[in-house]
Amino acid sequence: MNRVCHYRDGVLWLDDFRARDLAQQFQTPLYVYSEQTIIDRWLRFADAWPAPHRICYAVKANSHIAILQLMARLGAGFDIVSQGELERVLAAGAEPATVVFSGVAKSAEEIRRALSVGIGCFNVESQQELQRIEAIASDMGKVANVSIRINPNVDAGTHPYISTGLKTNKFGIDYELADAVFDYAAQSPTLNLQGIDCHIGSQITEPAPFLDAAKRMFAWVDKLAKRGIAISHLDLGGGFGVPYHDEAAFPTAEYLQGLLGLAKDYPQLTLMLEPGRSLVAEAGVLLTRVEYVKHSTEKRFAIVDAGMNDLLRPALYQAYHAILPEREEQQLGQVTDIVGPVCETGDFLAHARHLAVAPGDLIAVANAGAYGMSMSSNYNSRRRPAEVLLQGQQAKLITAREQYSQLWQREQLVYTMQSDEGEA
């Protein structure tokens, strides 16, 4: 149910809109999100996750304030990794107490701001960070809620760049070194040691590595209890995979049942999850138009008006995105690489797809709702795309296309302009 992109009478629709009409009204490249799909993905978690357990949406996946507002209305908390994300969440009207703050490099300014607005908890990634939070909280006369991020050393079998639970990663505190950090946090009057957390990686398609990590985390809770350290929450992170290609959908209900089973003996613990991608990836589509079709002796290229600056995932991780042409019959063409306008060989959206397209034709890059716009840049001085949210029968522009003058609005010229001299 609810595939945002589908064909009706052989032409491409996104929910209840013809792709062609959206492209005509809002121009390309264009990000389009389906509100209904976000809600459906949210319910996959929420329906199987009874209170008091919580879901903190990982803001970095898609940090648009309208999407944050929707998440808050659905009942989500937020997992943030920077002050910028904190300010976005506040701008979206979220309750600061529902926010957990992750990330390895929290600055003093970020910690101060988070304490002053009263966020729920810091997910602490090192002893030094813990001491910094303690010093700032003490200075402000506050008590800081903290959770310690443990590195459970689970190999999630994912792309090395997005695997975060191994000893060799920069994230979390080494399993063997964490004891001292817990002791420090537990004895500090300025720190309220609330929880433990982990996050083992991203785009993990099976429950096994998560349950493996969860077991290690519950064992930690036991170990802490034996030493007289009681905690009130266990945050198991995000990383649930989505079917980009031919992967099966992540069995969310099965995983949550498994977790709740493990948690049976811990009625005092509130469990938390931090899904990002799995709530928004499938809801988003990048619409782009073919500018040129070019043949080399070896290859056929469709050069489109969206590039790696708009959607970095293919270039960064060799990520796969399904490509859907405007007319269904165009899926039966020659093998084609879909490449962008940016001056980099790595600037591609897809390799070797069957596609019969001509200049002016529209194509949709599917499953682009996570780590799409949030990773976009202005490289090559390209304006970032507009964004549209489909809400039932309405298509709402939620981000205007950038103006060219915005590209240099924070920059300063340093020499007097020739024309100014002439006027003087």
Ligand X SMILES: *Cc1c(COP(=O)(O)O)cnc(C)c1O
- Known binding residues for pyridoxal 5'-phosphate are 239, 274-277, 371
**Residue 345 to residue 283: CA distance in whole angstroms:** 29
Query: Is 271 or 395 the residue whose CB approaches ligand X more closely?
Result: 271
Q: Report the residue number, 60 or 88, with the smaller CB distance to ligand X.
A: 60
Using CB under 6 A, which of the segments 23-31, 55-63, 125-133, 179-187 binds ligand X? 55-63
Return d(Cα 31, Cα 126) in angstroms, integer.
Answer: 37
Q: Residue from 34, 158, 202, 330 that binds ligand X (CB under 6 A)? A: 202
Q: What is the DSSP letter of 66?
A: H
Of 77, 120, 275, 340, the one binding ligand X by CB under 6 A: 275
- CB atoms under 10 Å from CB of 30, counted, come to 27
199 interacts with ligand X by CB under 6 A? yes
Q: Does 368 bind ligand X (CB under 6 A)?
A: no
Which parts of 199-268 fold into alpha helices (H)? Answer: 207-226, 252-263
Residue 274 binds ligand X, judged by CB under 6 A: yes
The binder of ligand X chosen from 277, 321, 353, 384 (CB under 6 A): 277
Catalytic residue among 5, 121, 198, 343: 343
121 binds ligand X (CB under 6 A): no
Minimum Å gap between C-beta 184 and ligand X is: 21
Q: Helix, strand, or coil here: 245?
A: coil
Q: How many C-beta atoms surround the C-beta of residue 94 within 10 A?
A: 24
Please report the sign of the dihedral spanned by the C-alpha atoms of residue 79, residue 82, residue 87, residue 91: negative
Does position 239 interact with ligand X (CB under 6 A)? The reply is yes
Decide the pairing of beta strands 77-80 and 99-101: parallel
| Nearest distance, CB of residue 190 and ligand X, angstroms | 24
Beta carbon of residue 340, minimum distance to ligand X (angstroms, whole number)? 24
CB of 21 to ligand X, least distance (A): 31
Q: How far is CA 291 from the centre of its chain?
A: 30
The answer to the question of residue 284 lying near ligand X (CB under 6 A) is no
Residues 308-337 that bind ligand X (CB under 6 A): none
Task: Using CB positions, name the residue nearest to ligand X.
Answer: 276
Q: Which two tokens stand for residue 387?
A: 């964004």
**How are beta strands 54-58 and 270-273 bridged, if at all?**
parallel
* Cα–Cα nearest to 239, from 220, 214, 263: 214
Site for ligand X in 59-118 (CB under 6 A): 60-61, 79, 102
The count of residues interacting with ligand X (CB under 6 A) is 17
Q: Which of 278, 288, 330, 376 binds ligand X (CB under 6 A)?
A: 278
- Smallest CA-to-CA distance from 400 within 36, 12, 64, 62 is with 64
Roughly what angle, to the nearest 10 degrees, separates helices 35-46 and 252-263? 30
Piece of 44-52, 221-229, 273-281, 298-306 that binds ligand X (CB under 6 A): 273-281
Instruction: Say how far apart CA 149 and CA 31 lie, in whole Å.
Output: 34
Residue type, 315: A
CB 374 within 8 A of CB 355: no
Task: Give the residue numbers of the binding site for substrate.
Answer: 277, 313, 317, 344, 371
CB of 167 to ligand X, least distance (A): 17
5 carries an active-site annotation: no
Task: Catalog residues that contact ligand X under the rule CB under 6 A.
Answer: 58, 60-61, 79, 102, 199, 202, 237-240, 274-278, 370
